[in-house]
Amino acid sequence: MQRPQRLATALVAVGMFVSGCYGPFTLTRKVYDWNGKVSDNRWVVEGVFVLCAWLPVYGLATAADAIIFNSVEFWTGKSMLSAAPADPSTQSKRLVRKDSEVVLTRLPGPTGDALLIQQYQHGQATASLRLERQGDTVVAFNADGAILLKAQMLADGRVVVTDAKGQQVASHSDEQVRRLLAMLPQR
């Protein structure tokens, strides 16, 4: 092995050792997602894939993820490749497990804070739900803005859940609500 190759191999090994994590490989996934959307023709997609593998676009993206981007995200908790929120008052939290990801975003609104829940599978959006406080009621909206459920806390501490037509679908006692709230992390 020549000296530059040994040095490069050593740097990759040290970078992976120092990062101490497997990581989300965001850049590699972005290249892969782009490759899959390059055409509707599967032969064109395969041709671009082979070209990217031969050039080595995938290899460079994976190396950059392993050495730089995953390490930075591990140590800072923030991804360099994720877009910053447009509104600085919003707060987001990413929950990632294998190829599934859920992004929770707190959005300020005229009637109070809302929570946007977005679900992704293999980097593709699959579902979203928005929870919005309206007085003593929390309303759940689907991606199209249609009401799915309403949950209202009554004076005796019970929570009653109704569907979009106003029909009761669940009722939880004061004790059940207290047990649930005790399980949630405190601010």
Average pLDDT (86-98) is: 67
User: Which DSSP string corresponds to 145-169?
Assistant: S-EEEEEEE-TTS-EEEEETTS-EE
| Same domain (yes/no): 115, 177 | yes
Most confident of 1-5, 16-20, 76-80: 76-80
Categorize the per-residue pLDDT at 22 as very low, low, confident or very high, splitting at 50, 70 and 90.
low
For 149, how many CA atoms within 13 A lie in the half-sphere containing its CB? 13
Q: Please tell me the total count of domains within the chain.
A: 2
Residue 14's pLDDT is: 46
Position 69 in a domain: yes
**What is the Cα–Cα distance from 100 to 61, expressed in whole angstroms?**
20
| Same domain (yes/no): 64, 136 | no
Position 14 in a domain: yes
The model's pTM is 0.47
Residues 133-185: pLDDT tens digits? 887 788 888 888 898 888 888 888 888 889 889 999 888 888 887 787 777 66
111 secondary structure, DSSP code: T
> Which of these three, 44, 76, 108, is where a domain ends?
76
Whether the per-residue pLDDT at 19 is higher than 50: the answer is no
